[in-house]
Structure 1
Amino acid sequence: MEFWLGSSFSGAGEYLDLARAADRLGYDVVTVSDHLFYADYDTPYPYSPTGVPPYRQETHWPDPWVTIGAMSSVTERVRFATNVYIPPVRDLFTVAKAVSTAAVLSNDRAILGVGVGWCKDEFLQTGQDFHTRGKRLDEMLPALRTLWQGGMVEHHGTYYDFGPLSIAPVPDKPVPVYIGGDSDAALRRAARAGDGWIGNRIYSEDQLGELLTRLTGFLSEHGRTLDDLAVIAPIGAMPSADLYRKWADRGVRGTLAAPWWTASPEEKATHGKGLALKLATMERFAEEVMAKM
């Protein structure tokens, strides 16, 4: 079982310390999230019954690839992923160059976690078509992989048409692509084109079981199984080694955890609400759960 650290809603000044701690304590991946700006969105937030997002104007959303580059410079082992990055809100070459550069600077420790995005407001501000975002992402992924091969390449499709041309630098190894989202369209995309699937919300055990059943069915349409797809699932149950062993046996490759979400009253009283609490609970989680796996 891999342990991915979810760092969303952290202050920009905390990321380097979180990355150092994750590297030292044995976490496998540190994740960062993606938003371009905060506003009184016209688009309802899809993961809340009220439609209101769980963040505010003061919440930090540092650029994911700048942040990954910085974290990679102070670590040696831990990998980094976006959970999730929204490629279709940007042009193809901005995405290709940012991800490629981060992969090179991190010595191939970058993972591209992608989604189609829910916030129409961001698409309007960047001039990208919100309504074709799924189709454009489907075409973007092979185009990105072509660009990352290096050398003179070309692509001629419905939404993207280029080449022959080259970008540099490009990574030595393919950048793993993990698909986010739990709609049928997202799971089909993961089954068809993903190296992995990553959940971007917390799933009860019943929900996770149902999701794996759906995903298994979509994988079978492409001659694949759960062994062919790295499933990373946040699990809404009290963390324990037994819990993660059970889901590893069912095909889950890793889980997303932010140990400060389950901080005890004593930990909060001792360490407050900021970076100190995050570091202390990361260490406790590594000792009580990760070390027993």
Structure 2
Amino acid sequence: MEFGVSTFITDEGIGAADLGRALEERDFDALFIAEHTHIPASRETPYPGGGELPRIYYRTLDPFVALTAVAAVTERLVVATGIALVIERDPITTAKEVASLDLISGGRMVFGVGAGWNREEMRNHGTDPATRGALMDERIRAMREIWTAETAEFHGEYVDFDPIYAWPKPVQQPHPPIYVGGESERAIARVAEYGGGWLPRGNVENLGDLVAKVRDRAGWRVPVTVYAARRDPAVIESYAAAGVDRTLFFLPTQPRDETLRTLDEFTELAKRHT
């Protein structure tokens, strides 16, 4: 099992390049970073974690800009969105950003996606929360067409464009793996439909059963990365027993020195399970 980190990169924590170098120096496998374009001043949608929405949600950097900085100073580290909010993104622009990052990183990009939870935020992007899942599915299908066809064309209910040329094409073929976040029946169906991996949360019960279900539904051994894993050796052992391929520790957003100390703690924990 590999080990990586999931985090929010903001203007108040360690810089993206410093974080990337520190992770690779400690032999971590991957960096997954969160995305929020903004947080509406009107707080109607409850925070899924309970209580007040943490400050880091208000201050996230653009994930593709941050991951490009990471890719430029590393050689092996997987650079990933965890997760990109496709429902808030133009598919033609996003397809170019994903392909560009995959090219710049030398084929190290993983495209983690999800349907989001903040209804006010998505409405500001013109997205109806009631149809966000269908919108996400269609945008991803359109992006796959852009990545794989020399002349791409797509006509759907939410995405519609006549033949276009769009480069660069991704280094990874047919495109960077799409890791689907979430544990719902629809999320599992998405893994089977277009997912190159599954990204469940670390607090999910019966993870072993769900891993088997995801792989059975997809018909192949889908790679599984656990997001925001608990720092409990017994829990990590249970991930390994469940067939998890990568565990992501959740890294608090802190200044450089505090971050490096936390990474050293993660390193010691990971060494017990490698």
Q: Please, what TM-score do these two structures have when normalized by structure 1?
A: 0.82
Query: Residues 250, 214 of structure 1: CA spacing in aligned structure 2 closer, same or farther, 3 A cutoff?
Result: closer
* Partner-residue secondary structure (3-state), 2:248: strand
1:218 and 1:281 map into 2 onto residues whose CA distance is 32
Aligned residue runs from structure 1 range 1-293, under 5 A = 1-8=1-8, 10=10, 11=12, 14-50=15-51, 52-55=52-55, 59-173=58-172, 174-199=175-200, 201-203=201-203, 207-209=204-206, 211-222=207-218, 224-225=219-220, 227-238=221-232, 240=233, 243-258=235-250, 274-290=255-271, 293=274
- Offset of residue 250 of structure 1: 1.5
Query: Residues 236, 283 of structure 1: CA spacing in aligned structure 2 closer, same or farther, 3 A cutoff?
Result: closer
Deviations 1:77-136 (A, max 9, x none): 101111111111122112112212111111111111001111122222222333221001
- C-alpha RMSD over aligned residues: 2.5
- Offset of residue 56 of structure 1: 6.0
Deviations 1:6-44 (A, max 9, x none): 222553652211100111111111111100112333432
Paired residues of 1:90 and 1:128 also in contact (CA < 8 A):
no
* Partner-residue secondary structure (3-state), 2:166: coil
Query: Residues 166, 129 of structure 1: CA spacing in aligned structure 2 closer, same or farther, 3 A cutoff?
Result: farther
- Offset of residue 150 of structure 1: 4.8
Q: Please, what TM-score do these two structures have when normalized by structure 2?
A: 0.87
Query: Residues 214, 292 of structure 1: CA spacing in aligned structure 2 closer, same or farther, 3 A cutoff?
Result: closer
Which letter does structure 1 place at the counterpart of 2:250?
A: A
1:136 and 1:230 map into 2 onto residues whose CA distance is 24
Deviations 1:195-229 (A, max 9, x none): 11113x441xxx342x442453354344x25x223
Contiguous gaps of at least 5 residues in structure 1: 262-272
Paired residues of 1:12 and 1:62 also in contact (CA < 8 A):
no
1:48 and 1:213 map into 2 onto residues whose CA distance is 24
Which letter does structure 2 place at the counterpart of 1:90?
A: R
Paired residues of 1:2 and 1:255 also in contact (CA < 8 A):
yes
Greater Cα radius of gyration, structure 1 or 2:
1
* Partner-residue secondary structure (3-state), 2:116: coil
1:37 and 1:259 map into 2 onto residues whose CA distance is 21
Percent identical among aligned pairs is 28
Which letter does structure 2 place at the counterpart of 1:2?
A: E
Query: Residues 12, 274 of structure 1: CA spacing in aligned structure 2 closer, same or farther, 3 A cutoff?
Result: closer
Which letter does structure 1 place at the counterpart of 2:79?
A: F
2:160 and 2:190 map into 1 onto residues whose CA distance is 22
1:284 and 1:48 map into 2 onto residues whose CA distance is 24
* Partner-residue secondary structure (3-state), 2:55: coil
Contiguous gaps of at least 5 residues in structure 2: none
* Partner-residue secondary structure (3-state), 1:5: strand
